C-alpha cells in the first residue's frame, strides 16, 4: 500500500522551516499532500490562492508533493485521501506539548500515525508569524522564506 502523508498547516506564508520538513519527508513517503487549512474565523495575510501557489512553485520539481486546501477536521481529509500518516515539524517544547495532545487524540480516534521531524538548526527559529511581522514592518524577509514567496 502506498504510504501517504498529509502535512497540514496555515502556511501564511510557507517558510524555509516548512520547506525543510517537506523535503526531508520526501524519502519517507510515497506521497506528501501539503494541506492548507481554511478557518473561517481566522484572517490571513496571504490569500488562499497565494499560499497554495507559493508552495506549488517551491515543489514543482518534486512529483510526489502536492498541495490541497481543506476545511474541517484534518483526520477527515486524511480519510478522504487514504493517508495513513500526518507529518509535523517540532521546533521546541511548546510545539511538543501542543502536538502531543493532538497526535494522541488522532491516534486514539482514527489510528492515524503522526510522524515528527525535528527542526533543522538553521531554520528552528523561523515561524510564519515572525515572517508576517517582518513583512508588515517592511523588513527583509527573503532569508526566511523560499523564493516563490513574493509580497506585492
Ligand atoms: P499552524 O498549524 O500553527 O498553522 P504552521 O502552518 O506554521 O502551523 O506549521 C505547520 C507545521 O509546520 C507544524 O507542524 C509546525 O510545527 C511546522 N513548522 C513550522 N515552522 C517550522 C520550522 N521552522 N521548523 C520545523 N517545523 C516547522
pTM here is 0.95
As a whole number of angstroms, the distance between CA 66 and CA 26 comes to 11
Q: Whose CA is nearest to atom 8 of ligand 1?
A: 9
Q: Which atom of ligand 1 is nearest to the CA of 129?
A: 7
Q: How far does residue 89's CA lie from ligand 1's centre (Å)?
A: 6
As a whole number of angstroms, the distance between CA 38 and CA 77 comes to 12
Class assignment of domain 4-150? Answer: alpha beta
Predicted confidence at residue 151, as pLDDT, reads 84
- Among 24, 119, 129, which is best to mutate for testing ligand 1, by the most ligand atoms less than 8 A from CB? 119
DSSP-based three-state secondary structure for 33? strand
Q: Where are the alpha helices (DSSP H) in 9-116?
A: 16-25, 48-58, 74-81, 93-110
Q: How far does residue 55's CA lie from ligand 1's centre (Å)?
A: 14
How do the domains of the chain map onto residue ranges?
A: 4-150
pLDDT tens for the chain, residues 1 to 152: 999 999 999 999 999 999 999 999 999 999 999 999 999 899 999 999 999 999 999 999 999 999 999 999 999 999 999 999 999 999 999 999 999 999 999 999 999 999 999 999 999 999 999 999 999 999 999 999 999 998 87
Q: Whose CA is nearest to atom 18 of ligand 1?
A: 89
The DSSP symbol for 46 reads: S
Residue 114 and residue 85 in contact, taking contact as beta carbons nearer than 8 Å: yes
Catalytic residue numbers read 18, 42, 91, 128
Q: Whose CA is nearest to atom 26 of ligand 1?
A: 89
Q: How far does residue 82's CA lie from ligand 1's centre (Å)?
A: 23
Residue 84 and residue 112 in contact, taking contact as beta carbons nearer than 8 Å: yes
Which grid coordinates belong to 13? Answer: 506564508
Amino acid at each position: 500500500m502506498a504510504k501517504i502523508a498529509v502535512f497540514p498547516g496555515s502556511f501564511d506564508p510557507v517558510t524555509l522551516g516548512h520547506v525543510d520538513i517537506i523535503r526531508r519527508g520526501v524519502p519517507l513517503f510515497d506521497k506528501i499532500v501539503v494541506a492548507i487549512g481554511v478557518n473561517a474565523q481566522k484572517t490571513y495575510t496571504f490569500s488562499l490562492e497565494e499560499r497554495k501557489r507559493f508552495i506549488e512553485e517551491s515543489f514543482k520539481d518534486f512529483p510526489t508533493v502536492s498541495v490541497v486546501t481543506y476545511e474541517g477536521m484534518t483526520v477527515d481529509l486524511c480519510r478522504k485521501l487514504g493517508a495513513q500518516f500526518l507529518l509535523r515539524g517540532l521546533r521546541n517544547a511548546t510545539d511538543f506539548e501542543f502536538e502531543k495532545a493532538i497526535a494522541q487524540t488522532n491516534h486514539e480516534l482514527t489510528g492515524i500515525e503522526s510522524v515528527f521531524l525535528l527542526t533543522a538548526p538553521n531554520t528552528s527559529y523561523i515561524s510564519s508569524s515572525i515572517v508576517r511581522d517582518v513583512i508588515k514592518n517592511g523588513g527583509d524577509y527573503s532569508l526566511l522564506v523560499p523564493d516563490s514567496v513574493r509580497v506585492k
